[in-house]
Amino acid sequence: MNKATLQEIEVRFDKDVERFSNLETGQATTMDAVWNMELITDAIVRLYPDLENVLDIGCGAGNYDVKLLQKTQANPNVTLVDLSQPMLDRAKERVGVMTQGEIQIIKRDFRDAVLDEDKFDVIIATSVLHHLRDDQDWENAFLKLFNLLKKGGSLWIFDLIEQNNTHLQELIYREKYGEYLTHLKDEAYRDHVFAYVAHEDTPRSLVYQLNLLSKVGFKEVDVLHKNLCFASYVAFK
Ligand SMILES: C[S@@+](CC[C@H](N)C(=O)[O-])C[C@H]1O[C@@H](n2cnc3c(N)ncnc32)[C@H](O)[C@@H]1O
């Protein structure tokens, strides 16, 4: 199947700003979306009380940044990168009122965005990396994110993942996640979600990503949570 181009992805997200501005139920198809947002932002606040520079790649409408800024006493600068201008406009509006730090918005594929190296305490990458395609693309992206972090900085990911084992992929994704989607709505909805994932996404397994994060130089990687085909994980420079 032909995979979606960046332009197609941009156009789809241009029309989806409202859903991604909802801190509670915006992403029902994404299992434990709200719970992982709480977990990741709690962890960032715990580990970085003096947060200075945050980068959110594929920031959408800025939900993670809004949640983080609700919890931290710090006033970090926040750099927001996304393909979609309507998403960035909404993110800037929401995040800008929550910190005295500077807000920078960059409308660009994060792989090509010009950003300062050794600058960020924290990079947030949620529900975005599954758009990466081949092995080289994944490795270049992880290496770029590594270089953007300060020493001691960290990359926080929540995303759709695959299993390495094809039988487990069938069981966990097709059957179990399929049941979850059917229960959420109906079988037609399940098929609709499976079809757009097949068209748009190229997720990698959690093991693949953790190994690659170590390979590009991260000194510690850790798993926060996994439920079927969704997981949250972190890598420290
Ligand atoms: C599923 S949304 C998630 C938004 C947000 N991270 C969240 O968790 O609420 C994915 C976002 O990533 C953006 N995106 C996808 N590929 C991207 C890329 N290569 N560079 C920058 N943004 C990208 C899309 O435009 C979209 O706004």
Q: What is the pTM of this model?
A: 0.96
Q: What is the pLDDT of residues 160-218, one digit of tens each?
A: 999 999 999 999 999 999 999 999 999 999 999 999 999 999 999 999 999 999 999 99
Residue 74 is assigned to a structural domain of this protein: yes
138, two tokens: 């994944």
For residue 1, is pLDDT > 70?
Answer: no
Of 6, 83, 105, 201, which is best to mutate to test ligand 1, by the most ligand atoms within 8 angstroms of its C-beta? 83
- Cβ contact 1:75 at 8 Å: no
- List ligand 1's pocket residues with C-beta within 6 A: 9-10, 13, 20, 57-60, 63-64, 81-84, 87, 109-111, 126-128, 131
3-state secondary structure of 173: helix
Q: What is the pLDDT of residue 26?
A: 64
- Identify whether 148 is part of a domain: yes
Domain annotation covers residue 197 = no
List pLDDT tens digits, range 17-34: 888 888 876 678 999 999
Long-range contacts of 134-139 (CB under 8 A, 24+ apart): 137/111, 138/204, 138/208, 138/209, 138/212, 139/212, 139/215, 139/216
Compute the CA torsion angle 20, 204, 191, 30 (nearest 10 deg).
-30
What are 197's two structure tokens?
């994932």
Tens-digit pLDDT profile for residues 61-103: 999 999 999 999 999 999 999 999 999 999 999 999 999 999 9
Q: Residue 122's domain is classified under what CATH number? A: 3.40.50.150
Residue 48 structural domain: 6-163+203-236
Report the domain count for the chain. Answer: 1
